[in-house]
Amino acid sequence: MNILESIISLAFLSQVIRLYTPYYLGASASNFTERSGVINIAIEGFMTFSAFSYVLFSIKSGSPVIGVFVTILLSLFLALLYALFTVALKVNHIVTGIGFNLFIAGLTKFFLVYFFQSSSNSPQAPSIPSISFLKFVPIIGPLISDPVILFSFILLPLSQFILYKTRFGLRLRTAGENPEAGDSLGIKIRAYKLYGVLISGVLSSLAGMWLASSQNSFSDGMVAGRGFIAIAAMIIGRWKPLNIFYACLMFATLESLEITLQIAGSGIPSQLVQILPYFITILVLLGFVGKTKPPAADGVPY
């Protein structure tokens, strides 16, 4: 097969978008919490938790819609717990994140064996239902009729609007940039940090559920570092929704290119392509590719 032909094909483009979806949801999750000044390196864990919860509840109830709603509720609870540690108790954010990652990894491994008697994967789970009338849109129909993919595109203008055009966004950013100043103006800083964490819980939950839904099952280690790639995309995107969007699109394109070349038998080793997101991030941090600056009070307990 002609390699060039397969790269510019529609199949390639839709593969890019499918890879982009969990990255952008995860990166936005990370961005909202860091904008409020709370670092969450447990995005990976949150995604794993939601992927499992979605599979468990949609199989047990027989309805993917119930699976989605129960999972969103549970991940709000998980995010609340995260906020209890980082905002109320002021535990170091990094330590909390590591703790949550370890705890969730253990929890999902255990419940996978407990509920499905397998240490590797769950039985087949239903997909999140698609929006039927959008299926008939020519060319892009199959993609945008998936509600999560559709949402991941709406999320870009939505987060631009929320962060920069609303009072809520301004206050959220104040909590991350200069909480003392915000506090002296009467803004409830801790409440906004809580909102930031809760939003990150829901967004990373969508990312995790979408992964499970698109693979129709949960398997141990299925998130495979996507939560960390999402954080990398946020850093490269300099905490700005549009730049993060480009970063996610870049990572997704690279990954899709790798898969396509692999199938075409180009002989480029997959591990070296898998390194790229992390490697590019290190280069960016070293200052080779522009400058990055996190919110001023990022990770500082208040």
The answer to whether residues 50 and 200 touch, using CB atoms and an 8 Å cutoff, is no
d(CA 195, CA 216): 31
* Residue choice 3, 10, 154, 275 for contact with other proteins (CB under 8 A): 275
Size of residue set near other proteins by CB under 8 A: 46
Q: Which of 91, 156, 264, 300 binds other proteins (CB under 8 A)?
A: 91
* Residue type at position 166: T
**Of 104 and 194, CB closest to other proteins:** 104
Q: Which of 282, 290, 297, 300 is the binder for other proteins (CB under 8 A)?
A: 282
Q: Is 286 in the site for other proteins (CB under 8 A)?
A: yes
Nearer to other proteins, 62 or 221 (CB): 221
Contact with other proteins (CB under 8 A) among 2, 8, 114, 265: 114
All residues at 6 or more sequence positions from 252 whose CB lies less than 8 Å from its CB, including other chains:
16, 17, 19, 20, 23
Q: Which of residues 228-267 bind other proteins (CB under 8 A)?
A: 228, 231-232, 235
Least distance from other proteins to the Cβ atom of residue 91, Å: 5
Q: Is 101 in the site for other proteins (CB under 8 A)?
A: yes
Rank residues 142 and 301 by Cβ distance to other proteins and give the closer one.
Answer: 301
Tokens of 287: 């200052």
Shorter beta-carbon distance to other proteins: residue 115 or 153: 115
Q: Which of 11, 66, 89, 268 binds other proteins (CB under 8 A)?
A: 89
Question: Among 131, 242, 285, 289, which residue interacts with other proteins (rule: CB under 8 A)?
Answer: 285
Determine which residue in the list 55, 104, 155, 248 makes contact with other proteins, applying CB under 8 A: 104
> x/- site string to other proteins, residues 10 to 49, per CB under 8 A?
-----------------------------x-x--------
Residues 6+ apart with CB under 8 A from 26: 43, 47, 203, 204, 207, 226, 227, 229, 230, 231, 233
CB closer to other proteins, 33 vs 96: 96
| CB distance 237 to 290 below 8 Å | no
Single residue of 199, 281, 295, 297 touching other proteins by CB under 8 A: 281
Tokens of 250: 């870049």
CB of residue 286 to other proteins, shortest distance in Å: 6
Residue selected from 98, 156, 162, 254 as contacting other proteins according to rule CB under 8 A: 98
Q: How far is CA 212 from the centre of its chain?
A: 13
Binding site for other proteins (CB under 8 A): 39, 41, 84-85, 89-92, 94-96, 98-107, 109-110, 112-114, 119, 225, 228, 231-232, 235, 269, 271-272, 274-275, 278-279, 281-282, 285-287, 292, 299
